[in-house]
């Protein structure tokens, strides 16, 4: 048996792939940044109570929304609303 250092490549085809899912919060598989009224959002962040997004999703905000894509339904609803200048 040779001793020393080297590189070995495992070419066995009997390896097992671990496909277990890590635990996640409800809705984590579809994380989006949602639109919600600012006053309700701030209240929810302070008190820990759920807030309702424009799309209808209810959640307690606890993550940085900049890390997630914008919810397409919230965006569509937001863009269909009249702007503050026109109201």
pTM of this prediction exceeds 0.75: no
Query: SS3 of 75, please?
Result: helix
Q: Is residue 52 part of a domain?
A: yes
Q: Is residue 38 part of a domain?
A: yes
Within 8 A by CB and 6+ apart from 68, the residues are: 31, 32, 33
Q: Is residue 68 part of a domain?
A: yes
Q: Is residue 26 part of a domain?
A: no
Q: Is residue 51 part of a domain?
A: yes
The tens digit of pLDDT for each residue in 66-84 reads: 889 999 999 999 999 988 6
Separation between Cα atoms, residue 83 and residue 87, nearest integer Å = 6
Q: Is residue 37 part of a domain?
A: yes
Predicted pLDDT at 24:
43
The tens digit of pLDDT for each residue in 11-45 reads: 445 545 444 444 445 555 468 999 999 889 888 88
Q: Is residue 7 part of a domain?
A: no
Query: SS3 of 51, please?
Result: strand
Of 52, 61, 56, the residue nearest 73 (C-alpha): 56
Could you give the number of structural domains in the chain? 1
- Show the domain range for 53: 31-80
């Amino acid at each position: 048996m040779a001793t020393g250092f080297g590189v070995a490549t495992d070419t066995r085809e009997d390896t097992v792939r671990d496909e277990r899912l890590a635990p996640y919060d409800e809705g984590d598989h579809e994380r989006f940044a949602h639109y919600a009224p600012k006053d309700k959002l701030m209240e929810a962040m302070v008190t820990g109570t759920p807030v309702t997004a424009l799309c209808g999703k209810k959640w307690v905000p606890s993550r940085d929304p900049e890390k997630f894509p914008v919810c397409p339904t919230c965006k569509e609803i937001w863009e269909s609303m009249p702007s503050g200048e026109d109201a």
